Amino acid sequence: MGIAFAKGLVFAIRKPLVGIGSLEAIAYRCRDRSVVLFVVVDAKMGGFYHVAYRWSASRIEQVSPLSIFNRQELPRNLTPGSLILSPDAQGIPADLAARFPAGCTMVSNPVYPSAEYIAHRAVLELAGGTFDAEKRVEPLYLRPGVPGKVRRP
C-alpha cells in the first residue's frame, strides 16, 4: 500500500522515487560502531525478518541479506556479541531471546525507522550519482504467496 501511494504521488508531481529500506533506517538509530547490528522484525506466521548491518566510517552498510527465519533458525543466525534492534522488542518471546548467542544484547525498547535518515539517504542517492531512474521500486516478498491470493509482479 505504501509503495503504491508513493508511486502515484511521484507520478503526479513528476519527481523521482528513491527506495530506502525501513530495516536500514532502524539500524541507523543505533550509533554503536563496535558491534554488528541485527534488525529483527516479527514477520507473523512464526517467522522473523532478519538483516545485519555495521557501521563503516560514517555510513551504515548491510552485511547479510534480508532473510526470514523461523523460531529455531533465528538464534543460529545471530552473531555472538551483537546488538539486536526491533520495533517488536517487547514482543520477542522470552524463551526465544534466551536462546540467542552469548553476549547478544537486545535493545529493550522498540526501535522504529528514522524518517530523517530515509530523507538523508534519498538526498545522497540523488546528489551522489548513484540514483538509477530506471530502477523500479517494488515491494519485497520473502515468502511464497498464500494459496488463493494473487501476487502481482
In the chain, where the domains are located: 36-127
Query: Would you say 3 and 29 are in contact if contact means Cβ atoms under 8 Å apart?
Result: no
Sequence length of the chain is: 153
State the CB neighbour count (10 A cutoff) for residue 41. Answer: 21
Query: Would you say 110 and 87 are in contact if contact means Cβ atoms under 8 Å apart?
Result: yes
Q: Which residues contact 116 (CB under 8 A, 6 or more apart)?
A: none
Give pLDDT tens digits along the chain (153 positions).
578 888 888 889 988 888 888 889 999 888 788 889 999 988 888 888 899 999 888 788 999 998 999 989 999 999 999 999 988 877 788 888 899 999 998 888 888 888 888 888 888 888 887 777 667 777 766 666 554 444 444
Does this model's pTM top 0.95? My answer is no
Say yes or no: domain 36-127 is CATH 3.30.70. no
